[in-house]
Each structure stands twice: as structure tokens, then as C-alpha cells.
């Protein structure tokens, strides 16, 4: 069976969705493929996200990821919106979740780390959900 593809989506694809893509690849690449995208792009990934992901996990998102549009990713099985507080973009999928995670941009490192840890927990929960699919 092919691994399901998961898209982590927010408007600018510069912070939360990038963190989710990186943690999905780091923690669940044996279970699903991770992508991130948005309806708009930013010229770079949020520098605080990049710095903290390097410090916490040794992941250099600038080396392996970039801001992408929804049209830049393949068709997906799972769509996770991060909590856009606007009209979140939609894609056809088998499973859709909205994680409702606030954007930590401009906040303290403590707020950023709390958001990163929340995304990590949600990635692990999503991995369990996908593993349960395989048992059906």
C-alpha cells in the first residue's frame, strides 16, 4: 500500500504549516508523506521557526523546505488546516482536520516552543490515526 500523503495548510505557508511538514517528515515518514502549502507564499520561512526547529530537533527547514502554493503539491489524502482565522484553503481529501493552532509569529520563544510542541503532539496523533487505517 502506498503511504498516504498529508498536506499541512495555512494561508502563507511560512510558519505553522512548515513546522508541521518538518515534524511530519521527522516523526511519521514511515507512515505518511508530509507536504505544506498555502494560498500565498512568503519569501522565506519564519526565522524564529527555523531557529527553534534547529535547536529542538536538529532540523534545518531552510535546507529542505520552501514556501509553496497549493498547486505546487501532489494530490493528498489528508488535509490539516492549521487554524487560519480566515477562510482556510480547501483541497479534496479523505480526511480533513483543523488543528486551530494560533500563529506564534512575533511572539516569545516560549510561545513558539509551546506551538511547536502542540504540533508535535498532533503529528503523533495523526500518525496513530493513519496506522489505524492500515489495520482496517
Give percent above pLDDT 90 in the chain: 71
Domain 5-131 listed as CATH 3.40.50.2300: yes
Q: Do the beta carbons of residue 130 and residue 4 sit within 8 Å?
A: yes
Q: Is 68 left (phi over 0), alpha (psi -120 to 50) or beta?
A: beta
- Name the catalytic one among 6, 10, 37, 45: 10
| Mean pLDDT for all residues in the chain | 91
Q: How many CB atoms lie within 10 A of CB 72?
A: 14
- Separation CA 84–CA 12 (nearest Å): 9
**Tens-place pLDDT, residues 95-110:** 889 999 999 999 999 9
Cα 129 to chain centroid, rounded: 16
> Facing residues of 33 across strands?
5
**Tens-place pLDDT, residues 3-18:** 999 999 988 899 999 9
pLDDT at 89 over 80: no
CA-wise closest residue to 33 among 127, 122, 117, 121: 127
- Residue whose C-alpha cell is 523546505: 65
Q: What is the pLDDT of residue 118?
A: 98
- Name the catalytic one among 27, 56, 70, 88: 88
Region 99-122 average pLDDT: 96
pLDDT at 87 over 80: no
CA-wise closest residue to 21 among 11, 12, 32: 32
Is there a catalytic annotation at residue 10?
A: yes
Dump the DSSP string for 67-104: --BGGGS---SEEEE---SS-------SEEEE--PPP-
Region 102-121 average pLDDT: 96
Is there a catalytic annotation at residue 88?
A: yes
pTM tops 0.85, yes or no: yes
- Name the catalytic one among 59, 80, 84, 119: 84
Amino acid at each position: 500500500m502506498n503511504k498516504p500523503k498529508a498536506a499541512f495548510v495555512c494561508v502563507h505557508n511560512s510558519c505553522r504549516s512548515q513546522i508541521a511538514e518538518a515534524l511530519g517528515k521527522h516523526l511519521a515518514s514511515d507512515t505518511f508523506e508530509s507536504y505544506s502549502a498555502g494560498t500565498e507564499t512568503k519569501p522565506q520561512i519564519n526565522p524564529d521557526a527555523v531557529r527553534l526547529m534547529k535547536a529542538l530537533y536538529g532540523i534545518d527547514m531552510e535546507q529542505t523546505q520552501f514556501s509553496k502554493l497549493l498547486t505546487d503539491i501532489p494530490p493528498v489524502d489528508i488535509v490539516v488546516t492549521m487554524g487560519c482565522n480566515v477562510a482556510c484553503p480547501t483541497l479534496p481529501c479523505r480526511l480533513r482536520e483543523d488543528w486551530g493552532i494560533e500563529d506564534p509569529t512575533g511572539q516569545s520563544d516560549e510561545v513558539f516552543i509551546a506551538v511547536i510542541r502542540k504540533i508535535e503532539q498532533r503529528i503523533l496523533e495523526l500518525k496513530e490515526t493513519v496506522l489505524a487505517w492500515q489495520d482496517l
